[in-house]
Each structure stands twice: as structure tokens, then as C-alpha cells.
Amino acid sequence: MTTSYRPLNRLRALWAEDRCALGAIATIPSVQVVQMLAAAGLDFIIIDMEHGPIGPAEAHAMIAATQGTPLVPLVRVAATQAWYAKVPLDLGAMGVCFPLISTRADAEAAVRAVRYPPAGERAWGPFYAPPRWGLSPRDYQDRADAEVLAIATIEHQAALATIDEVVAVPGLDLAFIGPGDLATSLGHRGRAEHPDVQAAAGRLEAAIRRSKVVLGGVAPQPEQAMAMIARGYRALVVGFDWSLLQRGVAAAIAGVPRQNGSRRA
């Protein structure tokens, strides 16, 4: 009797069921923040080694803190080169998010960076990933290529002309549309809601939906998330750790007077 393959990477299992994964980007180098995000019910976390003050030691602690929880640890790196992805993967990350993917060559480099030879150019050295995954070193190496996610961030106007070629690359798993850098590249820095940015995002969205690549995006409000899920998004970032903290504090103090209104003059 043949046993069906069970993905270790929970995100692959969610997508196989046509469900949307919800996550957050972590920029604060904190195990405690990771634990709270896991307890809140998120599906994935993107540990930000591109813009956040997070080094390898902090990333390792944050990845390890997801063990025993449903939270899938992903890492965002600063460039699409294999050596940027090597350390996060060896620390146990279940996927690597590469920035500014605008050409087929960029996407091919991203895929090669997370796969062992002969499929890619990932170097050997998984000392800490196997225990995070609950596998022996040999089993980890046998399964890593099928489990680790190659993730592209589509965030520059140059990708508008090449997006069909990008998402046709074999082995590319997920493509996030990054509204911040997309707006900047279009001359509307800090204005992702600008009609030009929204139109560009719509073109990228349609192309990714036509492909086999999972469509990802950013949805800080529940209404926006529901609309995007209806349009085919299957991975949504609901906020950064710092923005979620700010929003929580703002909600806690909203409407609370700084002075006792019943106090007589």
C-alpha cells in the first residue's frame, strides 16, 4: 500500500487545500515576539534579515522558537545570491524570500540558492536545521529540496514587462507583490494606494494568478485580506511586528481620556 506524501512544511499543506496562509514580518530580534506571534494564530513568520537588525544568532533563536508551534519560519535576505540564503537555511528556515525579483534570471538564481546540487547550488552544512524539522541529518537532506520554499518579492516596475517569464521558472513557489518598493520605483514613495501603483499591482497579480506560483501580498486590514483572498491570494502578510504593536497600543488607548472628565474645575 502506497502512503501519500505528507509535507513537513505546513504552508505547502495549506496550499494543497486551497487555503490562505496568514503571517507577519518580524524585524525585532526577539524570541518573545516570535512566541507571541505564534500564540496569536499566525501561519508563518518572515524573519527580516534585509531591513531588520537581525543577525545569524538572533535569527537562529527566532527560528528555534517556532518549534512546537504551527508557525512556519521564513527568512527575508538582502540579495538574491546563494550565500545569503545558506545560513538561514542551515539554521532551520523553511523558506527564503528574495528581494527585487524582476527577471527570469533573478528567479532562477533564487531557486538555485535554496536547492542542493544538482538542482541548485546550496552548500552542505545543515547542522541546526534537522533538529528544528524533527529529522535526522540524512532525512533532512533527502527532503529539504521538496520542502524549502523559494520565494520571490516582486517589487519593481521593471517586473511589469517580465512577470510572465519570472513566474514560469520551475521551482519558484511563492511570489509576494511588495507594495512599498513598487510604489517607490513608480515615483510614488510611501503612497501604495496611488492609482498607478494599484494598476501595476493588478497587472502583476493577474500574471501570477495565471501561473502555478502561489500569489502573496500585504493586507493590514481584515476587509482587505478577505477581498484579496477572493481574488486568489494564498499568502498574506497582515503586518510587521512593530506595526502590529503600534496598532494594538493605539486600539488600547483609543477613547481613553487623559484627564478625569468628571473632575470639577
Q: Phi and psi of 2, rounded to 5°?
A: -85, 130
Tens digit of pLDDT for each residue in 69-86? 999 999 999 998 899 999
Q: Report the amino acid identity of residue 118.
A: P
pTM, full prediction = 0.93
Tens digit of pLDDT for each residue in 232-257? 999 999 999 999 999 999 999 998 98
Across 184-195, average pLDDT: 92
Q: Phi and psi of 30, rounded to 5°?
A: -150, 120
Q: What's residue 1's pLDDT?
A: 38
Structural domains of the chain, ranges and CATH numbers in brackets = 10-243 (3.20.20.60)
Q: What's residue 3's pLDDT?
A: 45
pLDDT above 90: residue 259: no
Tens digit of pLDDT for each residue in 102-119? 999 999 999 999 999 999
> Greater confidence, 5 or 212?
212
Across 58-74, average pLDDT: 97
Half-sphere exposure of 18 (CA within 13 A, CB side): 3
Across 7-30, average pLDDT: 95
Confidence of residue 40 (pLDDT cuts 50, 70, 90): very high
Confidence of residue 190 (pLDDT cuts 50, 70, 90): confident
3-state DSSP percent of the chain in helix, strand and coil, to 5: 45, 15, 40
Q: What's residue 5's pLDDT?
A: 52
Average pLDDT, the chain: 93
Residue 151 CB partners (closer than 8 Å, separation 6+): 74, 95, 96, 97, 98, 110, 173, 174, 175, 176, 216
Across 144-164, average pLDDT: 96
Per DSSP, what are the bridge partners of residue 251? none
Answer for the pair 229, 247: CB distance below 8 angstroms, yes or no: no
pLDDT above 90: residue 29: yes
Q: What's residue 6's pLDDT?
A: 63
Which residues are annotated as catalytic?
A: 51
Confidence of residue 265 (pLDDT cuts 50, 70, 90): low
The C-alpha cell that represents 79 in the structure block: 540579495
